């Protein structure tokens, strides 16, 4: 198992088929999906399709959402990471999107911030990205706060499938000039 990133409290690695219990807990929870189109997965046997979809992205694009694992307990916390978006969203295409999703019992401990910042470091230092974008439902205050804390700036509001979203961006110079506020 290859560790992609190590932070103070977590390792970040590829999502594996053996993460199915944690992935199911995450993807079946309506509260987690409140601002994600309520697209939960009800049947446990379908979670392997999600895992395989992400693992195919690793092969096709070199990146994808990655598992967050607690260094001390080995708990699967959720995922963070970069997706190379190949469909047009808000007039952008072929860009790196920062995203994250945590199992609810791990919210409120600074985990999204710590691991999202590590994903940005990976984007700018390992992938030599020029910029990274992110989007969040306008009502998703938690996600807005994470994005601002790791240095992204709000650019504009836009419509995604009939839902108002905030569009965020950070470029290399902004990242190098910014230390995370945590
Ligand atoms: C959004 C989410 C990732 C936040 O994870 P987290 O680990 O709890 O976030 P952090 O602890 O790093 O919090 C970062 C900041 O946001 C604030 N915050 C987090 N959740 C919040 C909420 N629901 N409402 C208001 N502020 C919130 C925290 O207080 C913190 O700010 P502070 O340091 O000034 O106190 C988590 O709630 C989640 O997985 N939600 C469901 C999936 C989702 O919406 N993903 C994002 C899609 S765009």
The CATH class, in words, for 3-177 is: alpha beta
Alpha carbon nearest to ligand 1 atom 42, residue = 101
* Burial class, 44, CB count within 10 angstroms (exposed 0-12 / middle 13-18 / buried 19+): middle
| pLDDT for 39 | 86
pTM: 0.96
Instruction: Give the residue carrying structure tokens 């047009």.
Output: 88
For ligand 1, whether the C-beta of 101 sits within 6 Å is: yes
- How far is 128 from 162, CA to CA, in rounded Å? 34
* Beta carbon of 40 within 6 Å of any ligand 1 atom: no
CA of 24 to the centre of ligand 1 (A): 20
Indicate if ligand 1 lies below 6 Å from the C-beta of 125.
Answer: no
Determine the distance separating the centroid of ligand 1 and the alpha carbon of 26, expressed in angstroms. 15
Ligand 1, atom 25, residue with closest C-alpha: 142
How many angstroms separate the alpha carbon of residue 32 from the centre of ligand 1? 11
* Alpha carbons 42 and 39: distance in angstroms, whole number: 10
How confident is the model over 108-138, as pLDDT tens digits? 999 999 999 999 999 999 999 999 999 999 9
What are the distances in angstroms from CA 128 to CA 4, 16, 35, 125?
A: 16, 26, 30, 6
Nearest CA owner, ligand 1 atom 5: 112
Dump pLDDT digits (tens) for 22-71. Answer: 999 999 999 999 999 878 999 999 999 999 999 999 999 999 999 999 99
Q: Is 146 helix (H, G, I), strand (E, B) or coil?
A: helix
Asked whether the predicted pLDDT for residue 178 surpasses 90, the reply is no
Closest CA to 71 of 10, 12, 4: 10
Count of beta carbons in the 10 Å neighbourhood of residue 146: 24
Strand 95-102 vs strand 163-171: parallel, antiparallel, or unpaired?
unpaired
């Amino acid at each position: 198992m290859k560790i992609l990133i190590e932070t103070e409290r977590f390792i970040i690695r590829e999502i594996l088929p053996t993460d199915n219990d944690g992935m199911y807990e995450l993807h079946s929870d309506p509260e987690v999906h409140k601002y994600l189109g309520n697209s939960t997965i009800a049947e446990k046997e379908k979670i392997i399709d999600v895992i395989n979809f992400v693992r195919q992205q690793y092969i096709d694009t070199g990146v994808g959402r990655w598992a967050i694992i607690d260094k001390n307990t080995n708990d699967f916390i959720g995922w963070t990471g970069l997706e190379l978006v190949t469909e047009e969203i808000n007039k952008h295409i072929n860009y790196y999107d920062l995203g994250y999703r945590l199992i609810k019992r791990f919210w409120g401990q600074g985990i999204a911030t710590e691991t999202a910042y590590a994903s940005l470091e990976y984007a700018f230092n390992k992938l030599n990205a020029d910029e990274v974008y992110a989007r969040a439902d306008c009502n998703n205050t938690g996600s807005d706060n994470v994005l601002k804390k790791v240095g992204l700036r709000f650019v504009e509001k836009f419509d995604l499938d009939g839902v108002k979203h905030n569009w965020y961006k950070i470029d290399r110079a902004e990242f190098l000039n910014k230390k995370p506020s945590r």
